[in-house]
Amino acid sequence: MIDPRRITLLNNCRDASGPVIYWMSRDQRVRHNWALLFARKKAEQLQQPLKVVFTLAPSFLNAPLRHYDFMLKGLHEVERALRRLNIPFYLVQGEPEIELPRFAREMKAGAVVTDFSPLKISREWKRRVGAHLPLPLYEVDAHNIVPCRIASAKQEYAARTFRPKIKSLLGELLTGFPQLEPLEATTESHPVDWSSISCSLKADHRVAPVEWLKPGEEAAANCLDTFLEKRLSSYAELRNDPNSGVLSNLSPYLHFGQISAQYIALRVSESRMPDESRSAFLEELIVRRELSDNYCFYNDRYDSFDGSPTWAKESLMNHRNDHREYLYTADEFATAKTHDRLWNAAQLELVTTGKIHGYMRMYWAKKILEWSESAEQAFETAMALNDRYALDGRDPNGYAGVAWSIGGVHDRPWFERPVYGKIRYMNASGCARKFDVARYIARFEEKKSM
């Protein structure tokens, strides 16, 4: 049973006679996917075939090769898994607002189903597609455990205001998933020419794919198993130590929708690990992650310093002319050429691995604020670096993380100090109290010299 609160009709059309299309976008998986399950059920109700299509935009917010490589390899796995269920998969290249309506016309579709994203670019695609389709366009929130529209009707001030709303609904919405049944008859579709697709990409090849993390739904499931077996037990105690290796490494898979957050939450909740560790992880997976979706959905300026709360903007404006001991250009930040070896190590971690440890990402962003000419410039620099190198870039978590570190989003005013104003401060000595800073630096300085 699919909770109807997950489903939103984005236009005013009614179901017609013809195949049901699942326009896969944010949730790039076959298992534990409410949008695909809804499309399958809709096809069954209408007694029509089901087809899955992915529209590959020529550029998605300037994503480099690292991101396209991870995504396309995951989609190749999706194609194989769907074939085993007799569900055809199509990949079309071009602008989604043009290609999706064209595809629907060619298939003589009766309804289109897609998944939820709070990002402006995705919402605009859907607005344009919905306006041009003479068919219903259903949106299903398959990414959040508590659907974003249901969790709150407004931008939440902080986790403390959002948490009670989420927890009041978890008992109803944190459920298991029905089995995705195969289609009875095979609908023929030509296999995707993945080699040709890869060669046609115009993405920046200077940001190379990572080798340490394998993409795809199977790899995501294995990563979760390993985390539950070997690292979750120490999560509460060691999660702020970047040398401990206790993090889940699931954020790239969550970003590309190669694993379901709801499925992860169920597995963690059912595990026999210490309550403290389970609670700490679920707070980040559910409350903090879904708060980020809330921020992006209700604040169209989420990717700009302008989206920051008034108190933060006023405070930083008052300290705009404060003396900065160090100032760096965007290129110096990108190439890790600051005076601070700890910050440089964090940037090298980002560039070489495609991620920064969560605690270090806060330090990394706050120092960009401290060493930039303005908060606006700092916000732009941090966002650009995160989106260019992080596998989970262009994600609500990344936008909210930078906005928290630099713009005080979801935080409160702190004691006033130069440059930072009332924005929460972090320094290297605070990091040294939490973990072996020299060990962390050595790991990534070694990578730079290789």
Instruction: Tell me the per-residue pLDDT of 140-153, one tens digit each, with 9 for 90 and over.
Output: 999 999 999 999 99
- Angle at which helix 396-407 crosses helix 289-298, to 10 degrees, equals 80
User: If you average pLDDT over residues 188-204, what whole number do you get?
Assistant: 87
Residues 339 and 432 in one domain: yes
Whether 434 is in a domain gets the answer yes
Q: Give me 307's structure tokens.
A: 């989206």
Whether 280 is in a domain gets the answer yes
Domain boundary among 250, 274, 298: 298
Task: State the residue range of the domain holding 68.
Answer: 4-143
Are the C-beta atoms of residues 39 and 113 closer than 8 Å to each other? yes
Separation between Cα atoms, residue 135 and residue 124, nearest integer Å:
18
Residues 239 and 376 in one domain: no
Q: Give me 115's structure tokens.
A: 């998944």
Whether 208 is in a domain gets the answer no
User: If you average pLDDT over residues 155-167, what whole number do you get?
Assistant: 98
User: If you average pLDDT over residues 282-294, what whole number do you get?
Assistant: 98
Full-model pTM: 0.97
User: If you average pLDDT over residues 417-445, what whole number do you get?
Assistant: 96
Separation between Cα atoms, residue 403 and residue 362, nearest integer Å:
10
pLDDT digits (tens, 9 = 90+) for 60-94: 767 899 999 999 999 999 999 999 999 999 999 99
- pLDDT reported for residue 450: 46
- pLDDT reported for residue 187: 63
Burial class (CB in 10 A: 0-12, 13-18, 19+), 321: exposed
Domain boundary among 126, 143, 160: 143
Total domains present in the chain: 3
Whether 423 is in a domain gets the answer yes
CATH code, domain with 166: 1.25.40.80
Residues 270 and 415 in one domain: no
**Model confidence at 342: pLDDT above 60:** yes
Residues 372 and 427 in one domain: yes
User: If you average pLDDT over residues 121-142, what whole number do you get?
Assistant: 96
pLDDT digits (tens, 9 = 90+) for 225-278: 999 999 999 999 999 999 999 999 999 999 999 999 999 999 999 999 999 999
Whether 187 is in a domain gets the answer no
- pLDDT reported for residue 61: 64
CATH code, domain with 415: 1.10.579.10
CATH code, domain with 14: 3.40.50.620
**Model confidence at 430: pLDDT above 50:** yes
- pLDDT reported for residue 363: 98
Measured between alpha carbons, how far is residue 2 from residues 12, 110, 303 in Å? Answer: 21, 20, 32
- Helices of type H across 88-119: 96-106
Residues 34 and 134 in one domain: yes
Residues 256 and 386 in one domain: no
Residues 154 and 273 in one domain: yes
- pLDDT reported for residue 58: 77
SS (H, E, C) the chain: CCCHHHEEECCCCCCCCCCEEEEECCCCCCCCCHHHHHHHHHHHHHCCCEEEEEEECCCCCCCCHHHHHHHHHHHHHHHHHHHHCCCCEEEEECCHHHHHHHHHHHCCCCEEEEECCCCHHHHHHHHHHHHHCCCCEEEECCCCCCCHHHHCCCCCCCHHHHHHHHHHHHHHHCCCCCCCCCCCCCCCCCCCCHHHHHHHCCCCCCCCCCCCCCCCHHHHHHHHHHHHHHCHHHHHHHCCCCCCCCCCCCHHHHHCCCCCHHHHHHHHHHCCCCHHHHHHHHHHHHHHHHHHHHHHHHCCCCCCHHHCCHHHHHHHHHCCCCCCCCCCCHHHHHCCCCCCHHHHHHHHHHHHHCCCCHHHHHHHHHHHHHCCCCHHHHHHHHHHHHHHHCCCCCCHHHHHHHHHHHHCCCCCCCCCECCCECCCCCCHHHHHHHCCHHHHHHHHHHHHHC
Residues 350 and 273 in one domain: no
Whether 405 is in a domain gets the answer yes
Q: How confident is the model at residue 313 (pLDDT cuts 50, 70, 90)?
A: very high
Domain boundary among 298, 323, 347: 298
Residues 333 and 363 in one domain: yes
Nearest Cα residue to 250 out of 242, 259, 262: 259
Residues 60 and 116 in one domain: yes
**Model confidence at 376: pLDDT above 90:** yes
Whether 226 is in a domain gets the answer yes
- pLDDT reported for residue 448: 63
- pLDDT reported for residue 321: 97
Measured between alpha carbons, how far is residue 276 from residues 232, 246, 264, 282, 283 in Å? Answer: 10, 14, 17, 10, 11
Nearest Cα residue to 179 out of 27, 32, 38, 79: 32
- pLDDT reported for residue 189: 75
Contacts of 199 (CB under 8 A, 6+ apart): none
Residues 21 and 155 in one domain: no
**Model confidence at 449: pLDDT above 60:** no
**Model confidence at 135: pLDDT above 80:** yes
Mean residue pLDDT of the chain comes to 96
Whether 210 is in a domain gets the answer no
User: If you average pLDDT over residues 390-397, what whole number do you get?
Assistant: 96
Residues 267 and 240 in one domain: yes
Q: How confident is the model at residue 203 (pLDDT cuts 50, 70, 90)?
A: confident
